[in-house]
Amino acid sequence: MSEINHFRRVVLWWLGTSIVATLLVVFLLAPIVPPGNGSVEASGQVVDNTVLFGISTPIAMAVLVYFIYALIVFRGRDETAVLDGPPIRGDATIQTWWLVVTTGIVLFLAGYGTIRMLGDGAGGGQGPNPIAKPTGANRALQVQVIAQQWKFTYRWPSYGGLETPTLELPANRMVEFHVTSLDVIHSFWAYQLGLKADANPGFDNVAYVTTKGPLTFDIHCAELCGVWHGYMFEKGRVVGPSQFNQWIVQQRQQYAPATKSLPPYSKQYFPDPQRRAG
């Protein structure tokens, strides 16, 4: 069989398997891949994952189809046959198309990622000044996440500097998180909200989330932070606006004595060393 016939067979097998596999991946697998649809940003991540799956599936199928075809068609059938085939010096046409296709994919993904970042905002924990903020960021509810061994606490500058041990957020509201730490490096990971931002002492990490309907979400520390790192997890909730207002009132009443003793609200804190070397 000629090289052209082998090439046609591989292409036909690749086209058939790629169409079926891509449809299955895009419409069945991608929608159920984490983080889900707990927030606008999480839904955006699902869309981005779907795009990546849609592009990578035909590439993966090309590798698999050629590998399986070579195993079946080019396997040695005669034990006395020479196993090594003639040396291949390269094919300029294949090499050129390889460069064109891979370069096109990389440039497309770079452009797609840039457009998504500038359109939806870059506040995913890139520091105190994201290069792009989502629309309406100036009206976002500010919440400070304070990490320490081994607990997250939350401070609310728009509610008199109140600090709470649990996190509740109003539904259908943009939230501007300011993530920091009191001691070592932690990482604030609100799984179903599609949010992860490092918590570094003396640093203010800004991250945006736009909530949807009522939801209970998992909060974990995603950075090894000491012996009890594995126990640094809890639940947060997204509730209706009226329920959130009631919760805030209750928290302000309950923690009023502690709020009076807290230092003024600050976007960054430096750890107070309890002992020194030497």
Contact 155, 161 (CB under 8 A): yes
In a domain, 177, yes or no: yes
Query: How many separate domains does the chain show?
Result: 2
pLDDT for res 278 = 40
In a domain, 88, yes or no: no
In a domain, 111, yes or no: no
In a domain, 120, yes or no: no
pLDDT for res 1 = 56
Domain that holds residue 48: 3-73
In a domain, 266, yes or no: no
Contact 143, 160 (CB under 8 A): no
Q: Which of these three, 73, 98, 124, is where a domain ends?
A: 73
Mind listing the pLDDT tens digit of every residue in the chain (278 residues)?
Answer: 566 787 888 889 999 999 999 999 999 998 888 888 888 888 888 998 999 999 999 999 999 998 998 888 877 666 655 556 666 677 788 789 889 999 999 999 999 888 887 777 655 667 888 887 888 888 999 999 999 989 999 999 999 899 999 999 999 999 999 999 988 899 999 989 988 999 988 889 999 999 998 999 999 999 998 898 989 999 999 999 999 999 999 999 999 888 888 888 888 777 665 554 44
In three-state form (DSSP H/G/I as H, E/B as E, the rest C), the secondary structure along 227-267 is CCHHHCEEEEEEECHHHHHHHHHHHHHHCHHHHHHCCCCCC
Are both 60 and 145 inside the same structural domain?
no
Q: Beta strands 168-170 and 174-181: pairing type?
A: unpaired
Are both 159 and 240 inside the same structural domain?
yes
Are both 67 and 143 inside the same structural domain?
no
pLDDT for res 137 = 83
In a domain, 268, yes or no: no
Are both 41 and 150 inside the same structural domain?
no
Are both 42 and 157 inside the same structural domain?
no
Are both 49 and 141 inside the same structural domain?
no
Are both 143 and 62 inside the same structural domain?
no
Strands (E), 43-149: 141-148
Contact 177, 145 (CB under 8 A): yes
pLDDT for res 277 = 42
Contact 10, 69 (CB under 8 A): yes
pLDDT for res 235 = 94
The amino acid sitting at 115 is I
In a domain, 129, yes or no: no
Q: How far is CA 161 from CA 150, 164, 208, 231, 262, in A?
A: 22, 10, 20, 27, 8
In a domain, 84, yes or no: no
Task: Enter the pTM of the model.
Answer: 0.80
Q: Which of these three, 73, 96, 117, is where a domain ends?
A: 73
